[in-house]
């Protein structure tokens, strides 16, 4: 696969994840293996961390809203 096609696929993956698609659904829709998608997301996350560290300094905030995401993972009884 050539570099231009890989770059285009990475843009599609980033857009799909921003829209809230799951990793496996992104894998199904793009045909790119989930491990490759995860490697891309790790790279993107590192870039975001660097950007935030560089740009978000000395902020003067009176109010900050922080949202939480909670998930319950459980299993049904064996009976």
33 in any annotated domain: yes
The answer to whether residue 15 sits within a structural domain is: yes
Structural domain contains residue 70: no
Its domain, for residue 17, covers: 3-54
Q: Is residue 21 part of a domain?
A: yes
- Domains: count for the chain: 1
- What's the CATH code of the domain at 24? 1.10.10
**Rounded distance, CA 73 to CA 2, Å?**
40
Alpha-carbon distances of 29 from 16, 22, 67, rounded to whole Å: 10, 11, 29
In a domain, 66, yes or no: no
Q: Which tens digits make up the pLDDT trace of 13-69? A: 989 988 889 999 999 999 989 999 999 889 988 998 999 899 988 888 888 888 877
Whether pTM exceeds 0.75: no
């Amino acid at each position: 696969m050539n570099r231009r096609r890989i770059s285009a696929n990475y843009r599609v993956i980033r857009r799909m994840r921003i829209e809230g698609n799951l990793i496996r659904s992104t894998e199904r829709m793009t045909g790119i293996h989930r491990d490759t998608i995860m490697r891309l997301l790790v790279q993107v996350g590192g870039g975001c961390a660097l950007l935030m560290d560089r740009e978000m300094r000395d902020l003067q905030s009176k109010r900050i809203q922080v949202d939480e995401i909670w998930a319950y993972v459980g299993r049904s009884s064996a009976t």
